[in-house]
Amino acid sequence: MSQVPKADPKIIAGDAPETTVVETRDVWCDGAGDIRNGENFRSAALGHPRVWMKIDEKGYADCGYCDRRFVLEGGPHQQAGIHELEAGDLPAPADGSVA
């Protein structure tokens, strides 16, 4: 029986395709934010159903449809001096506080 080589987790998971810095913990995504044109244009058919997410103590939330990452301005990644694209899963604060 031959062994199957282990895949590099970075290749499987990859980076989030787009990162958006936000100022609130409640965010939504419909996958069409970058393909709209003008204020009165409705959601594009090329997006996905609108989903609402809450940014938790990690300081970011990823859309389950398009993998867009929403990063909280001033969140744990900035407090730790880490760029949001490299944030990954940040450990919880040592004192148990929530960011």
Mean pLDDT is highest, among 54-63, 72-81, 82-91, for: 54-63
Is the pLDDT higher at 97 or at 25? 25
| CATH code, domain with 28 | 2.60.260.40
Give the range of the structural domain holding residue 75, as residue numbers without chain letter. Answer: 16-86
Residue 78 forms part of a structural domain: yes
pLDDT at 99: 45
Alpha helices (H) along the chain: 9-13, 76-79
Report the predicted TM-score, pTM, of the whole model to 2 decimal places.
0.58
The total number of structural domains that make up the chain: 1
Per-residue pLDDT reduced to its tens digit, 37-51: 556 555 556 788 999
**Mean pLDDT for the chain overall:** 72
For residues 55 and 27, what is the distance between their CA atoms, to the nearest angstrom?
Answer: 8
Question: What's the average model confidence in pLDDT over 91-97?
Answer: 55
